[in-house]
A and B are shown apart, each in its own frame.
Chain A
Amino acid sequence: MNLLIIPALPILAALICALPASWYVAAGATIISSIAALVFSLDTAFIVLKTGCVISIPNWISIDAFGVLILLLVAFVSTTASIFSWGYMAQETVDSKKLRLYYANLNLFIFSMLAVPMIQEPNLTWIAVELTTLFSILLVGFENTKEALEAAWKYMLLTLMGAAIALLGFLILFWAARNNLGGNAYTWSTLSLIASKMHPELLKTAFILILIGFGAKVGFVPLHTWLPDAHSQAPSPVCALLSGIETTTILYVILKLLPVFEAAKGVDALLWARVVGLISLGCAAFLLIQVKDFKRLFAFSTVEHMGIIFTAAGIGLGAGHLATMMQIVSHAVTKSFCFYAAGAALLITGTRQISKVRGLIHLNPFSGIALLIGGLAIAGAPPFAVFISEFSIVKAAILVKHWITVALLVFFIITAFFGVMFHINSMVFGRPESPPVAKHKLPLTCKASMLLAIIPVIVLGVYIPPQLYQLLKMAALVLCH
């Protein structure tokens, strides 16, 4: 099977969206193409399980276990997001042309994220990452309110600035590699093979530039300032994609580079990862407490989780890498569900302010329960997926005896848990000042999408299928130095 079919599907759907037809056609094409992409990704994942990798064009387009994991997550979240969009976006606007534009842009955005894990040439990966930003800027500003446009501008400015810095990093990386290639093509896999031969000075510079540049896009503190704005102002299905998947996709690139930089003398790449990760985790855990907007709450939780994942990668060894993979999966599925729940709450109450939403469970039991489950799951309560993965990260840190990391991880995770649950609790169970009135009903497609999105959140907390476990283990091997 050819890998190229998968990114071709959203491109095709985007072309259909451009046709002057009703928006139903555009929405339908988006849903069908993302379901098809999910099916093909699953198929690819099974082939990767058997053979280790799928090659479409040697040295250019191929995918390994880590890549296929990201591919699966992108395909899954884009499926639920496109189903959620149907009902949700119809409430936002009735302008058919604007909706078609939304779906076309959404498909291009999905395309760019599907492309990132497949590309083997690092410089082209940079381009795919840049495209993920470019295709999502207008989605962030879609509502055309003052806040949304400001968020879109901030998002554009900081992430593209980061991308330009990372570009210099990638060029220096290429400079370091090109004299040592020895006739091989320049790909991710040759890069990790020749890493020890490359000049440590250049490698160090490239590492710092790429970490700063892409770190801005992942949302590492102190470059996170755009993230809560963009991830809260975008329409909810876009938030789910941005927070659940896009950040992870960029982090995938940094994680792939980690073993390369580990080979450089004089840089303790893993220590850098732990420090950057813990700073993000710690800052976000405390910033969570003071938010007034519930979509910002989940956005800060994304900064927190990116910090956790990067810390886990910095713990290293087999256990740390496996825990990293588990956390990537559990965060992506849980965070996207959280944003659907937040979107549903926004649709019903018509406000983003935490203080104005009280007693959601009485107003609309479905959305109240969803928000409660989302909050518990993302904060890391058992028996949900995030609990298992956070637990295995702490276990891995204990295993390698990084006691400071263990202490800080546990402290920050618990702080974040109370931060999230304090707000969610008051929204779901709080006593309203005046009897609340529902602004909108929750559309059926939104409910369907939420029911679909919650399956992995619950199932992965109690049972990891052996195939998935095998894939996680294979993906963890990619991170090994």
Chain B
Amino acid sequence: MSFLSPNVINNLNALTGGLFLISAFGIVATRQMLGCLRFYVAQSVTLAASAFLLGLHPFSRHLMEVCIITIISKPILIPWVLKKTMGKQIYTRREISQVLNIPTSLLIAMVLAIISYFLAMPLIHATGDVRAMVNLPIGLAGVLLGTYTLAVRREALPQLLGLLAMENGAFFAGIVIAPDLPAIAELAVTFDVLILALVVGVLTRAIAKHIGTTEVGELASLKEDASL
């Protein structure tokens, strides 16, 4: 593997980092539910790709395991679980309105991404861990953009994808800052995420059935001053 010098690998990793960030923006701004899900899948693939690239040199069995586990669970199993539990009509919906309009949303998301760079830098300088240069700021941005998605989206599925994207962001940073995480922890987290998708899928279905909407952002009968 002569052409894959560490330098090339680092550049490729920076490219996957960029793609990861773009898909996080996609989850913030896509109106189509299905499109949103596709961006999530793309984000998970870039996460796996980054784990693979970082695991090449020096070779790391742990990161290869992370790559395989991610590829199997996130782009394949999660969409399948969601499709089974949520049902087609929720799945193919289109979100009419977000809390903020999309250009404003994207601007705020961009500011968050820049902030996360400045939040991550002191940590990288403190440890002198140059490999974290790409992954930590982008991972942090993934977490922040996921949180932001939760705040601006009203439909159930994009909110769930925001949660899953947060977890992806944490792991995007994790593959660099904690590459020797025991495989059992990786497996358990994957299992955990699958249960999450299942439980939230069932809950969304129940909400659609009993309340008649999946615009969970509009549910506001429980308040301090509500006279129940």
Q: A residues touching B (Cβ–Cβ < 8 Å)?
A: 121, 123-124, 127, 130-131, 134, 137-138, 141, 144-147, 149-154, 156-157, 160-161, 164-165, 167-168, 171-172, 174-175, 178, 199, 201-202, 205, 229, 233, 287, 290-293, 352-353
Nearest 6 CB-CB pairs, A to B? Answer: A164-B166, A175-B177, A201-B126, A150-B219, A168-B170, A171-B174
What's the tally of chain B residues with a CB closer than 8 Å to chain A?
Answer: 51
B96 interface contact, C-beta 8 A: no
Give the tally of cross-chain contacts (CB within 8 A): 131
The answer to whether B127 and A134 have CB atoms under 8 Å apart is no
Cβ of B216 < 8 Å from any Cβ of A? yes
Complex formed: what's the CA distance from A154 to B220 in Å? 10
Could you say which of B140, B156, B178, B192 contacts A131, with CB atoms under 8 Å apart? Answer: B192
Closest to B210 in A: A144
Query: Contact check: which of B163, B185, B192, B211 meets A146 at CB < 8 Å?
Result: B211
Among A134, A149, A165, A292, point to the contact of B228 (Cβ < 8 A): A292
Interface 9-mer from B7-15, B50-58, B195-203:
B195-203
**B170 close to A164 (CB less than 8 A):** yes
- For residue A205, which residue of chain B has the nearest CB? B123
Contacting residues, chain A, for B210 (C-beta < 8 A): 144-146, 149
Contact (Cβ within 8 A) B222 A229: yes
Hey, which chain A residues are within 8 Å of B226, CB to CB? 292
Bound: A33/B91 CA distance, A: 40
Report chain B residues within 8 Å CB of A145: 210
Binds A, one of B23-31, B33-41, B107-115, B142-150: B142-150
How many angstroms from the CA of A56 to the CA of B177 in the assembled complex?
Answer: 30
A-B contact pairs, 9 of them (CB 8 A): A146-B211, A149-B207, A150-B222, A157-B159, A157-B163, A157-B216, A174-B178, A178-B180, A202-B127
Q: Are A138 and B202 in contact (CB under 8 A)?
A: yes
Closest residue of chain B to A153, judged by CB?
B216
Given contacts A147-B222, A178-B178, contact A134 B195 (CB under 8 A): yes
Chain A residues whose CB sits within 8 angstroms of the CB of B163 once the complex forms = 157, 160-161, 164
What's the Cα separation between A121 and B170 when bound, in Å?
A: 18
Q: Which of A127, A147, A151, A168 contacts B139 (CB 8 A)?
A: A168
Is the C-beta of B68 less than 8 angstroms from some C-beta in chain A? no
B177 touches A172 (CB 8 A): yes
Distance to closest chain B CB from A96 (angstroms): 19
Residue of A nearest to B176 (CB): A175
Cα A130 to Cα B200 in complex, Å, equals: 13
Q: Looking across the interface, which residue of chain A has its beta carbon closest to that of B196?
A: A134
Alpha-carbon separation in the docked complex, A205 to B123 (Å)? 8
CB of A468, distance to nearest CB on chain B (Å) = 34
B99 at the interface (CB under 8 A from A): no
A141 to B211, CA, bound (A): 12
Q: A131-B195, A157-B159, A164-B163 are in contact. Are A137 and B203 (CB under 8 A)?
A: yes
Interface string of B152-187 (1 = CB under 8 A from A): 000010010001001101110110011011101100
State whether A199 and B203 are in contact (beta carbons under 8 Å apart), knowing that A124-B188, A144-B210, A147-B222 are contacts in the complex. no
Is there contact, CB below 8 Å, between B203 and A156? yes
A147 engages B224 (CB within 8 Å): no
> Does B4 count as interface, using CB distance less than 8 angstroms?
no
- The reply to whether the CB of B100 lies closer than 8 angstroms to some CB of chain A is no
Set of chain A residues within 8 Å of B169, measured between Cβ atoms:
164, 168
- Is B203 in contact with A121, judged by CB distance below 8 angstroms? no
A172 CB contacts on chain B under 8 angstroms? 123, 177
Given A123-B181, A134-B195, A199-B127: A164 and B228 within 8 A (CB)? Answer: no
Closest to B187 in A: A127
Report yes or no: B178 in contact with A175, Cβ–Cβ below 8 A: yes
